[in-house]
Structure formats: C-alpha cells, structure tokens
Amino acid sequence: MRISFLLHNAYGIGGTIRTTFNLAQALAERHEVEIVSVFRHRDQPTLGAPAGVVMKHLVDLRKKSPEYDGDHPDYQRPAKVFPRGDGRWKQYSRLTDARIAAHLKGLDADVVVGTRPGLNVHIARQAPAGPVRVGQEHLTLDSHGYRLRREIGHRYGLLDAVTTVTEADARSYRTRLKLPAAVRIESVPNSVPEPQVGPADPAAKYVVAAGRLTRVKRYDLLVEAFAKVVAARPDWRLRIYGSGDATGNEKDALRGLVEERGLGEHVALMGTANPLDAELVKGSIAVSTSRLESFGMTLVEAMRCGLPVVSTDCPHGPREIIEDGVDGRLVPVGDADAVAEALLGYIEDDELRRRAGAAALANARRFDPVAIAERHEALFTELVGGGGEGRRRSRVRDGVQRVRGAVLDAGYAARYKAAGLVSRGGGR
C-alpha cells in the first residue's frame, strides 16, 4: 500500500510526532510511506527522520531557505478551511488552505491519514474519493471545546475511519457523535519502541516522572506526596523531567513548592531529556499524578524500561496500560496520601519492586511499533480491500455529505450574518 500521513509539524517535538514517526517507520518495512508536514521550520527533524519514510513539507518557514513562505501575502490571512476550534488555528492561513488542498488533490496514495482534528477536517473536505481517509485522534473527544466537537460531528462523516488511542475515547466517539454507520471507529494505542539502553536497576533509589510542567500533570500533588515519602525514607530521591510553558510560571511555582517543603535535596527538576529512556533507566519506580491523560506515552516508556508505574486512575489511558497490582498501581485522582502509600509500597519491598518491574517490561511489549503497525495495517487493508463497490458507496456518501455540508454551511453563515459577525473556519 501507499500510505500518506499529514502532520502539523514533523520538525518539532511532541507525542503526536513521536508516535507518527514510530508508526510510519514500522509500516515502511512493507509499504510505501510518506509523512507530509504542513510546516517546516528547521532543516532536519528534531527527533530524527524515520527510516524508510519519504519526508515532504508544504509551507517553508526557514528564513534562510530560498523557498521561504513567511512573506507570502496569504500567510497573514486567516484560514477558512482549518477549523477555528482547533488550538493550532492561529498558525494556519489561506496559504495553508491552498497548499493542503493542492497536496490532497494530487495525492497518489491508497490511504491518507490525518493526525489532528484540523487536518482531519481538511482530509474530509478536500481529499478525493479514491484514497481511504483516516482521521486519528491523539487527544480525546472530551478535551475539545464545543466549537471543535461540532465541527468533528459535522465533517467526520466524510471519513472512512477514525482511530483513537484508547477504547474509552472510542466509546465516546461511538456514543456521543452521530456519525454514519459506514465510518469505522477503532481504538489503536500509541506505540513505543524498545529502548536503546538496558533495563532499569531495581535497586536504584530514584523515583522518576516525566511530562510537560503543566497544571493537568499535578506535579504539585506529586511534591506533596513525595514529602510524605521522604518523611519515611529520606534516602530516596525524585527526578521530574519536562519543560514548562514559555512564561516559566509553572516551573517557578513548582520550584517554590519544593523549597517551601524543604525538599531541595530530594526533588530535582531535570528539564527536558531526549532521548528520555536513558534517564528513565536511572530510576526504579515511575510515577504520574495527572488528572487527565489522552493516553500516557510516558507510562509506556517507563514500563518498556522495566519500571513499575504508580499512576492516578485518571481518564483515559492509565487503566488501559497498567494492570493494577501486577506491573504498577492505580490510585485515586488528587489523593496525595494514596500516591505516597503506593510509592512506599514499592520502596519498602525490594522483591515486589523487582517483580513489578519485570512484569512491566514484559507487558509493555504489546505497545511495540511492529505490533501497533500490524493493527493499523489490518484496518487499512480491510478498508482498501472494499474494492469498487465500497468506493462507489463512498462516492455516493461523499456527494450526499457535501450537499448536506453546503446546506449547513449556508445555515451557519446566515446565523453569523444575522448576528452581525464574520463567519470563518469552515463556515462557522
């Protein structure tokens, strides 16, 4: 098969980029695979180009490039196709509308895969009827605002399939959206490759946590919990890996809390680490105190390094990753005492920590890129194999949906005009 991924920016750092690269590289062992990055701001991908995958871009933002697009007049004009509800809307423009449309019109692929809602909308509206059209959800339906959920419900009926990274989110898509029955909704988790370093030493007296320093990760709760751990076991240390927002407010607040609790010698903010596995293996327990996770990539990364994980049982991912009491512990969201108790359970029992780490290492192999690629491959093959009749039904559906879309767009426009507003972003 010829498979084409449409990605926001393949040259940055992020979970969606990593998992797309992992999947593309695994699929490239048996198929022709390309990644088309809407934006390119540097010469080489920060995470390294996936082997065997063709890399392309649509808008060049490298200022020293002879093809620099930052001065293009349409680059400053707001996008109309990319939906305003998508958090990246301000980065899109009439130029991206045109470039993405031209790319999709000339697409020579059996399957085209979008990797965020705004790009999935582009594929739904602009991709020809020939390729199988797949929209990936790397966050969750619930994490999107009303405006974007309405756009998803309105446009995703033109896709052939939607994949989510958890079964819980797939259930939300099936029950909360009235998509046509012909749209397949499947859960396929993210993949994590085997670490390039040996497994963690269960004797190490370090707890590790990783992820952006944002409020949703509840590192403040983790610090409070670790203060209780230190009271019982002052010989243990906590390392937190990750960077904060551009203002640094969250990092400063966290550092202040560490000092306030007198944990300066026990808790270290380590900054970013790439690759992360080289740092994870220096610990013997991993911890996550998030109040919400769309999946939980760092949980799997820690388990692949042989660390048991203590995690809050938050929506949506941890329960589908961790087997409570076997390869980790699930604790109530927002409960610092429960986090501390679970950590101390592993800290005080060396043999339990060793067994749980071994179980984590074994159980996490199900997230290997080859295994996850096979699940995507099976879905793509089934959809492509629908053949002529399936494609004819798709074209008929497209025609019906596009007429419906035009009618709804006209309705949106009329309501905006009546309210004295300008309608932008897919008629909204």
List, in sequence order, every residue forming a beta bridge with 7; answer none if it has no partner: 37
143 and 249 co-located in one domain: no
165 and 74, same domain (yes or no): yes
The pLDDT of 248-262, averaged and rounded, is 92
pLDDT of residue 77: 98
- Residue 225: give the domain boundaries: 206-367
Q: What is the DSSP string of 106-167?
A: T---SEEEE-SHHHHHHHHHHS-SSSEEEEEESS-STTS-HHHHHHHHHHGGGSSEEEESSH
At 386, the pLDDT band (50, 70, 90 cuts) reads confident
pTM equals: 0.85
- pLDDT digit string (tens) for 212-231? 899 999 999 999 999 999 99
Residues 181 and 266 reside in one and the same domain: no
Residues 30 and 58 in one domain: yes
Q: Looking at 349, 367, 385, which one is the last position of a domain?
A: 367
User: Percent of the chain at pLDDT above 90?
Assistant: 85
Same domain, 257 and 161: no
Return the pLDDT at 319: 96
Work out the pLDDT band at 249, boundaries 50, 70, 90.
confident
- In a domain, residue 200? The reply is no
For residue 375, is pLDDT > 90?
yes
**CA 119/CA 101 separation, integer angstroms:** 11
* CATH for 360: 3.40.50.2000
Query: In the chain, how many domains are there?
Result: 2
**In the prediction, which pLDDT does 245 show?**
65
**pLDDT tens, position by position, 295-345:** 999 999 999 999 999 999 999 999 999 999 999 999 999 999 999 999 999
Which pLDDT score, from 0 to 100, does residue 241 have?
96
| Strand stretches in 280-348, DSSP E | 285-288, 309-312, 328-331
Average the pLDDT over 34-57 and give the result: 97
8 pLDDT above the threshold of 70:
yes
Residues 277 and 185 in one domain: no
CA dihedral of 257, 261, 265, 266, whole degrees rounded to 10 = -90
Phi, psi of 378 (to 5 degrees): -65, -40
Q: Which of 344, 367, 390 is the endpoint of a domain?
A: 367
Query: Given 367, 386, 405, which residue is the final one in a domain?
Result: 367
User: At CA 140, angle to CA 8 and CA 7, rounded to 5?
Assistant: 15
- How would residue 294 be classed by pLDDT, with cut points 50, 70 and 90? very high
pLDDT tens string 173-197? 999 999 999 999 999 999 999 999 9
pLDDT, residue 412, reads 40
pLDDT at residue number 425:
34
Q: Does 286 fall in a domain? A: yes
Residue 390 pLDDT exceeds 90:
no
For residue 199, being part of any structural domain is answered with no
Same domain, 216 and 296: yes
Contacts for 73 with CB less than 8 Å, ≥ 6 apart: none
Give pLDDT, residue 111: 98
Q: Would you say residue 363 lies in a domain?
A: yes
Residues 183 and 40 in one domain: yes
176 vs 403: which has the higher pLDDT: 176
Give pLDDT, residue 420.
39
Residue 89 lies in a domain: yes
Indicate whether 130 pLDDT > 50: yes
Say what the pLDDT of residue 413 is: 42
Instruction: Please tell me whether residues 89 and 216 are part of one structural domain.
Output: no
Q: Looking at the domain assignment, is residue 337 inside a domain?
A: yes
In this prediction, residue 247 has a pLDDT band, given cuts at 50, 70 and 90, of low
Specify whether 170 is located in the same domain as 216. Answer: no
The verdict on residue 196 lying in a domain is: no
Tell me if 240 is assigned to some domain: yes
Categorise residue 426: left if φ over 0, alpha if ψ from -120 to 50, beta otherwise: left
176: number of CA atoms within 13 Å, CB side? Answer: 13
Interval 134-143: pLDDT, tens: 999 999 999 9
Residues 167, 213 within the same domain: no
Say yes or no: 314 and 387 in one domain.
no
